[in-house]
Amino acid sequence: MKVSLNWLNQWVEINDLDADELATRLTLAGLEVEEVERIGEGQEKVVVGRIDSIEEHPKADRLVVCKVDAGEDELRQIVCGATNMQAGDFVPVALPGAEPPGIDFSIGARKVMGVPSAGMLCSEEELDLASESEGLMLLDRSLKVGQPIFEALGLKDVILHIGLTPNRPDCLSHRGVAREVAALYGRELRPEKMQIAAPLWEGDTGAVSEAASLQVVDVEGCPRYAAAVLEGVKVGPSPLWLRQRLSALGMRSVNNIVDVTNYVLMDLGQPLHAFDLDKIESQQIVVRRAAAGESLEAIDHKEYKLDESDLVIADARRPLAIAGVMGGADSEVTESTRRILLECAYFDPRSVRRTARRHGLHSESSHRYERGIDPGAILENLREAVALLVQAQTHLEGDAPTVRAGILDGGPGVAKAAAIELKKDRANQVLGTAIESAQVEGYLKSIGVEVVAEDDKAWRFEVPSFRPDLERSIDLVEEIARLHGFDKIEATMPKALMGRAHVLQQGAERGTIVSRAERRALSWVRDLLLGQGLREVINYSFMGADDLDRLRLDEGDSRQLAPRVANPLVQDQALMRTTLIPSLLNNLKVNRAQRRSDVAIFEIGRRYFMTEERRTLGIALTGRKSRHWTGESTWDFFDLKGMVEALGEAFDSSDACWMKPEVGESYLHPGVQAVWSVGRQPVAFVGQLHPAVSSKEGSDQAIFVAEIDLEALVAEGAPRREFSTLARFPAVVRDFALVADEGVAYATIEDVIEKLRAEGGVFGELFRSVALFDIYTGSPIPEGKRSLAIKVTYRADDRTLTEAEIEAADAALLGALAEGAGARLR
């Protein structure tokens, strides 16, 4: 939002305030001033000049030589290429050394085709007062020659660029910002700012009902629609004051009708639309939803296919405008327009937001309607707009336009907001302050919030219609803090809730509450992965349909049934994600674009299904995992497998095991993937990205990914920890090279050993651990077989083992492996 201080001064006295100090005060009050722009500053060498004479250039047909009085002792000779001026005209003159804001070079004295030229005659475009111009800017001849042009035209101004948050639609106008300034500095708004006290439509002209009719069919989308009719209008250039106001904000002047609607938009925050009444079929206005198959050519001369949920302003035959978003070309005001129907309405913010997003349209009007304009000021704003339309035509030849008696007014209006109760000690409790009750009332009254009831313990406040963001007592507390000054609130330690207050109660709805055990578990997961050199990423919880296609998922896959976002910001975020893998692949792609090929990342996020949400951990590894002068190593499948196993140590995963997936993941390499199950429930899928997928991702190196269901792990709970003393007697380590069928997984070996341990006996008493340390195929191993080398550790707690005990345990082990896994000693 751009705010002109000259314009703002018409609403509230600010001439005594420093612009930078005002910007700081507004920023501290929540209206962040992002830039302070000074128009006309440093432009003292661009002055008012009078053309004394014009002669043809001796060597160029399209150039003329002007003698110009710039308020100096002698006339100045300037070569010019414009043709719209004559002797006696007043024009802007850029003297040598000047840097007009619309050009990117400094003016100098030089020869043009052999003729000396000391300066430049300027157009509106060169002064940055218009986006384009066809000749010099011709000035009023009453101006003082030699006076700086921005000062002479009253254009010297300071513009504040305010970055407003969506909850402050009341400040999308000069009146709204003026309210804030008045509240912050204890000043009053100037009531004389508004044009007239009585509406022009209260005259004795013909009734408006004889000129047009109104029917509001959809009162939900349009709670209030008002319109006035003006006849005998003259469409032409706007008066200088109006063009200056809009130019200061960087808005291009179109004509006096359009300029007035833009002026009211920026002054009062009220979007308006002017229809050519003679182009409206049967002079009938109908506010309704679009019918199937309807379309509209908008004023940008593009055709828009309307959706049946779009709110439109129509006549008896066709749509004329997309309500609150953009007008149509068929009813646009042109130079031939003589009768105008001026719309001033309140449209439902949600309806406008959806329509604007659906059609990819965003305008100053839709920006305000989406956030919520003041529904209580419709008639006041219409009155002001009508007065300004009449005023903006008085400088043109001919009679003044007439305003039809009465207005078109439809819709039930917007219900008045309920009063808000605020306990008298609430603000000080929240803010840690000692603000007096009278001061609280004063702060809120300064922004239009009035006391309607009061007792010893609380107030009831009525909120003005221009503040739709004030809904709860805490909103009023925030207003008190803003007006009191955040910088005046001393830092205090809050009271901490401990123990039971932070424990998830049995039977309570979970919502966003995270139990203490779950917080500990997530913290442990983060610490573990960060300690192994991974970096945490945070992604949006959305994805597009193309993301699932990237993973080559089958049509029947449950992840294809992704919940759809009702109002997606962009199409590639139209679905709630059912897997974290596409998000991680996008992270890798961004890193590759930055020439970072060695990446190790993880994300803790949620997957969203039709009936539930699952907290999930995603991991992606690619490239080198370490750089050292002794050599380099790259991430591989076993690094990822080890991370998953380490994660399991934080949970009761004693019965966890690795298995070959019954149905492999389509996005993973068929020979390099595994599933990690806890209690026969799949918890993690780990593997190398399928080469076909990684090549489409633009990667020429292996990518390893994992997706772990943290919900399932947390449900297992923490493992039972038992203390044991350090071993007093030595262990015996035995290596065995086993030959088994290639189809026998190492997990089968572990299962056989675990079953034998559970049976007890000499092996169960002595066995402590087993680990795989080598796999070999090839000669002399028979075809279809492979060698698995395992390391088995024996120990007794109360003695040193004898050779007989060790041999008995070995015999039991080899017998069980032969019977249970078909594995025999090499």
Tell me the binding residues.
469, 475, 478-479
Reduced 3-state DSSP string for 510-560: CCCCCCHHHHHHHHHHHHHHHHCCCEECCCCCEECHHHHHHCCCCCCCHHH
User: How far apart (Å, rounded) are the C-alpha atoms in residues 560 and 545?
Assistant: 9
User: How far apart (Å, rounded) are the C-alpha atoms in residues 502 and 504?
Assistant: 7
CA distances from 546 to 244, 572, 616, 695, 696 (A): 50, 8, 21, 16, 13
Cα-to-chain-centroid distance, residue 561: 27
User: How far apart (Å, rounded) are the C-alpha atoms in residues 239 and 394?
Assistant: 9
Query: What are φ and ψ of residue 37, in 5° steps?
Result: -105, 130
What are the structure tokens assigned to 525, written together? 């997961």
616 three-state secondary structure: strand
579 three-state secondary structure: coil
Number of other residues whose CB lies within 10 A of the CB of residue 608: 17
Reduced 3-state DSSP string for 334-403: CCCCCEEEEEEEECCHHHHHHHHHHHCCCCHHHHHHHHCCCHHHHHHHHHHHHHHHHHCCCCCCCCCCEE
What are the structure tokens assigned to 586, written together? 């996008």
Q: Which residues are annotated as a binding site for Mg(2+)?
A: 469, 475, 478-479
In the block, tokens 């207005």 appear at 407
In the block, tokens 């929240």 appear at 430
Number of other residues whose CB lies within 10 A of the CB of residue 291: 12
Do residues 676 and 619 lie in contact, with contact meaning Cβ atoms separated by under 8 Å?
Answer: no
Cα-trace Rg, the chain: 39
Please report which residue ranges of 566-629 form alpha helices under DSSP H: 581-593
785 burial via Cβ count (<10 Å: 0-12, 13-18, 19+): middle
Number of other residues whose CB lies within 10 A of the CB of residue 584: 25
Q: Return the C-alpha torsion angle 87, 88, 91, 96, nearest 10.
A: 70
Do residues 168 and 370 lie in contact, with contact meaning Cβ atoms separated by under 8 Å?
Answer: no
Give the CA angle between residues 190, 193, 198 to the nearest 5°. 115
β partners of residue 93: 47, 121
User: How far apart (Å, rounded) are the C-alpha atoms in residues 148 and 146?
Assistant: 6
CA distances from 122 to 84, 95, 110, 117 (A): 12, 10, 17, 14
